[in-house]
Chains A and B, each alone.
Chain A
Amino acid sequence: MRADPLYLTFLNYLGGFEYFFFTAEKEIQVNVSEVGQTRQNIFPGWPNSYGETADTINKSTFRISNKGMIVRTQLLTANQRDVLSLIKSSPVVQIVYSRTNRRTVIVDSDSFKVYDESETTFALQFTIIYTDEIPSQRV
């Protein structure tokens, strides 16, 4: 069963943009980069602050998180493999929804695998991280 396709563009070192349509299955991740926690002082409300009806002592105050995605390619030619490998060194990588609707992502610097499926076929896997934070409230 085909996953939702992903259409990426990236700036190559020549000064042009490359496009590729990723149709293989992907995995969605949520990366939490920062967490704020607070510990409530139970003394002012003692003893109710520690009773059955009291709130928990520890609570989260904020979370900064980004969506991520493990991208896998369908089978590639050697040239496609070589060119798509350069996505890791590109300063501009975007998901293209339309000409006027794009979303900038960052290719995770550590996640990159090249699979040799046969002498002439290959596959890539890498992780992209959305630059927009997932909306969440602060306490």
Chain B
Amino acid sequence: MAVELIARPIGHKLSITQVTAVIVDDGTGDAIVYVAGGHSLSDGDYVYIESNVEAYNGFKYVDSTAYDYFKIKDSEGGDFIPYYQDQDITMYVSVLEHGWQSVHLPIAYELESDLWPENVAEQEYNPNVIDSFTSYGGNTKINTANALSDPVALTFIELVGDGPLAGAYQILTVLQDWEVVINLAYDAANDFSPYTVVKYYNNYHINVEVWTGLETDNRWFHVKPLELAGTLKLIPDSNGRVKFSIHDILRGYVKTRNNLTLNTLPNNTDFHTEFYIKYSEGYDTSDGVEITVFEGAQTTDSFIGNAVNSMMPFKSQGSGFMSDYINEGAFLARWLTLFDRPVAVVGYFFDVSFINQYNGVDIIILRNGELFQTIVNPGAGVIRVGFIPEEGFTEYCLQAYAGGENTSASLAGFVNVAGPDEDWVTGATPSISINFPVTGTSSDLLQDDYNFITGIEYTVTVFTSVSGSGTMTIRILDDSLNTIESESGSLIGGGDRSITFVATSETTKIGFTLFATNLDLTLSDLRITSAQAAITEQLCIDIIEECGSTFTNDNLRLTEPGEFRELES
């Protein structure tokens, strides 16, 4: 490790189910959450905790230690939260970790270095000490117990310990890997025994590149292609950590304007940009003659976030969390309006927006339960649903649905995962023959990637031609080829086999395996269908005539004595 990313700008969508638990001491000084009856959480889950102890509160990373106990951290790479006192808590489980963020609020990352200001690896695992020292031209020549780490003239070492000599010193001359002259005036009275010697990374810094735009899987990526938006040069604090926000950089890629003729509408690309970072470390190095800056290898963070033109105050009166506007399965996204029931007027343009997380998916808008608009692959972003209300309606109840796929997927990309069993013959129509082994035999796994949309129910159907008989298993796999969902059934005389499942973030591949004694099988077609799944709540908009009343509250007291008044003249 050199630089490690320990916190990303992850948002959470919370379950509405409240769980009560208690925080106690785990015996080592860390806080541990005890949930009577079990917590059903795994490492990497997040919970939101409310209690009377400040340090326990907020979004916490779960580190499960038993079925009914888990420890908590602020982030995956963070430290365990220390124990302060026993405390009853209420918590909510995060059902979705997402990268959608408000561009007007901090979009914060945290990086940690183990090289600076403390060279942790050398200091803790390979401590080196000074055996002896002498004068060398008035400076101090030191002899160390072990070879120094890559000693070169003009680079630095550090004496770590309590005492007046602690600090960084430049190497003036290298005599041996364990014998160097440093820029410390010789004094026979010096005592180096309290110190260990480590390599010191002078002028240490972390470079962060901020990239923003739209990824190539977004339909409008060519309008806002990913580009380097800025570079940050950061110096870690005394703990080796650096926390920074990139929202100021990203704000330049979000335009606050009302452009109803934007080329990309209904995707309001003015209000959305994706982002990720690359990071590396740098420090002074030397060839013995000249000091230059070494720039380490760059790491590209796999997390891709989305910044939208919103400013959601945190815990302020009358507002909630931005996550309320993100869809996750049964927890539907809210529309980006603050009206309980917006009012639209017949003949006057009106629009209402929602956040779409999905690329490559058509969106349909239902009005009062019937198809109103079909938006062909709008791409992820802020979607503006515009319309001019028509006569004959008292309300438009709008709800957005995604999915509705019914496609024939190519089998040509499927590959045989080499193993001890019978191989598949790959191609446009993969095939396999298993002919009278001593006992029944299995096939290797035949698999390929598929971009399932989380939260949507899919049916994967494979059509076959068969001679003989056997049992076929359709598998839905994760990136590591672990089976997430499977369905097995016998194959006699051909036909099709199918599996229906709800996609999650883990379901990324389709696979097939066989078990047979006598079978010639060819896969002829693969069809993938998905049901339309609601992604937003239903929003009802009152439709009025131009001369109608915008006041639609049923509890208006029109005729109480002394309070009668005409609503609108």
Report yes or no: B309 in contact with A15, Cβ–Cβ below 8 A: yes
Chain A contacts of B271 at CB under 8 A?
15
Binding-face segment, A39-47, A55-63, A91-99, A131-139: A91-99
Chain A contacts of B187 at CB under 8 A?
none
Report yes or no: A7 in contact with B313, Cβ–Cβ below 8 A: no
Chain A contacts of B309 at CB under 8 A?
15
Q: How far is the CA of A42 from the CA of B313 in the complex (A)?
A: 64
Report yes or no: B567 in contact with A92, Cβ–Cβ below 8 A: no
Chain A contacts of B352 at CB under 8 A?
16-17
Chain B contacts of A5 at CB under 8 A?
345, 546
Chain A count of residues within 8 A CB distance of the other chain: 40
Does B504 reach chain A (CB closer than 8 Å)? Answer: no
Does B336 reach chain A (CB closer than 8 Å)? Answer: yes
Chain A contacts of B154 at CB under 8 A?
none
Report yes or no: A91 in contact with B339, Cβ–Cβ below 8 A: no
Does A106 reach chain B (CB closer than 8 Å)? Answer: no
Chain A contacts of B336 at CB under 8 A?
12, 14-16
Residues 63 to 82 of chain A near chain B (Cβ within 8 Å):
74-77, 79-80, 82
Chain A contacts of B382 at CB under 8 A?
15-16
Residues 1 to 39 of chain A near chain B (Cβ within 8 Å):
1-2, 5, 7, 9, 11-21, 23-25
Chain A: minimal CB distance from B550 (Å): 6
Report yes or no: B258 in contact with A7, Cβ–Cβ below 8 A: no
Chain A contacts of B547 at CB under 8 A?
2
Report yes or no: A74 in contact with B567, Cβ–Cβ below 8 A: yes
Q: Is the interface of A mostly helix, strand, loop or mixed?
A: loop
Report yes or no: B353 in contact with A96, Cβ–Cβ below 8 A: no
B337 contacts which of A7, A12, A25, A102 (Cβ < 8 Å)? Answer: A12
Q: How far is the CA of A77 from the CA of B567 in the complex (A)?
A: 12
Does A121 reach chain B (CB closer than 8 Å)? Answer: yes
Q: How far is the CA of A94 from the CA of B565 in the complex (A)?
A: 31
Chain A: minimal CB distance from B510 (Å): 36
Chain A contacts of B349 at CB under 8 A?
96, 98-99
Chain A: minimal CB distance from B381 (Å): 10
Report yes or no: A17 in contact with B351, Cβ–Cβ below 8 A: yes
Q: Is the interface of B mostly helix, strand, loop or mixed?
A: loop
B311 contacts which of A9, A13, A16, A24 (Cβ < 8 Å)? Answer: A13
Residues 328 to 347 of chain B near chain A (Cβ within 8 Å):
335-345
Q: How far is the CA of A50 from the CA of B308 in the complex (A)?
A: 67
Chain A: minimal CB distance from B26 (Å): 41
B344 contacts which of A19, A76, A83 (Cβ < 8 Å)? Answer: A19
Q: How far is the CA of A117 from the CA of B349 in the complex (A)?
A: 30
Evaluate whether A92 and B337 lie within 8 angstroms (CB atoms) in the complex, with A17-B353, A23-B568 already known: no
Report yes or no: B311 in contact with A92, Cβ–Cβ below 8 A: no
Chain A: minimal CB distance from B140 (Å): 63
Chain B count of residues within 8 A CB distance of the other chain: 53
Evaluate whether A9 and B258 lie within 8 angstroms (CB atoms) in the complex, with A15-B309, A23-B568 already known: yes
Residues 307 to 365 of chain B near chain A (Cβ within 8 Å):
308-313, 318-319, 325, 335-345, 348-354
Chain B contacts of A21 at CB under 8 A?
343, 345, 348, 544, 546, 550
Q: How far is the CA of A18 from the CA of B335 in the complex (A)?
A: 11
Does B549 reach chain A (CB closer than 8 Å)? Answer: yes
A94 contacts which of B258, B340, B354, B386 (Cβ < 8 Å)? Answer: B258
Evaluate whether A14 and B551 lie within 8 angstroms (CB atoms) in the complex, with A7-B345, A102-B260 already known: no
Chain B contacts of A9 at CB under 8 A?
258
Evaluate whether A118 and B345 lie within 8 angstroms (CB atoms) in the complex, with A1-B569, A15-B336 already known: no
Q: How far is the CA of A91 from the CA of B354 in the complex (A)?
A: 20
Report yes or no: A17 in contact with B256, Cβ–Cβ below 8 A: no
Give B544's nearest chain A residue, CB to CB.
Answer: A21
Chain B contacts of A7 at CB under 8 A?
345, 348
Evaluate whether A92 and B258 lie within 8 angstroms (CB atoms) in the complex, with A16-B352, A75-B568, A98-B349 already known: yes
Chain A: minimal CB distance from B129 (Å): 60
Report yes or no: B342 in contact with A19, Cβ–Cβ below 8 A: yes
Does B555 reach chain A (CB closer than 8 Å)? Answer: yes
Chain B contacts of A16 at CB under 8 A?
335-337, 352-354, 382
A76 contacts which of B261, B337, B348, B551 (Cβ < 8 Å)? Answer: B551
Chain B: minimal CB distance from A1 (Å): 6
Give B341's nearest chain A residue, CB to CB.
Answer: A79
Does B189 reach chain A (CB closer than 8 Å)? Answer: no
Chain B: minimal CB distance from A79 (Å): 5
Report yes or no: A18 in contact with B337, Cβ–Cβ below 8 A: yes
Report yes or no: A18 in contact with B345, Cβ–Cβ below 8 A: no
Chain A contacts of B386 at CB under 8 A?
99
Chain A contacts of B556 at CB under 8 A?
75, 120-121
Chain A contacts of B150 at CB under 8 A?
none
Chain B: minimal CB distance from A131 (Å): 13
Does A100 reach chain B (CB closer than 8 Å)? Answer: yes
Does A86 reach chain B (CB closer than 8 Å)? Answer: yes
Chain B: minimal CB distance from A73 (Å): 8
Chain A: minimal CB distance from B373 (Å): 15
Q: How far is the CA of A17 from the CA of B350 in the complex (A)?
A: 9
Chain A: minimal CB distance from B340 (Å): 5
Chain B: minimal CB distance from A81 (Å): 11
Extra 5 A-B pairs, beta carbons < 8 Å, given A15-B310, A17-B351: A7-B348, A17-B384, A21-B348, A92-B257, A120-B556
* Contact sample, A vs B, 8 pairs, CB 8 Å cutoff: A1-B569, A5-B345, A7-B345, A12-B337, A15-B309, A74-B549, A92-B258, A98-B349
8 nearest A-B residue pairs (beta carbon): A16-B336, A16-B353, A15-B310, A14-B336, A99-B349, A77-B553, A83-B338, A13-B311
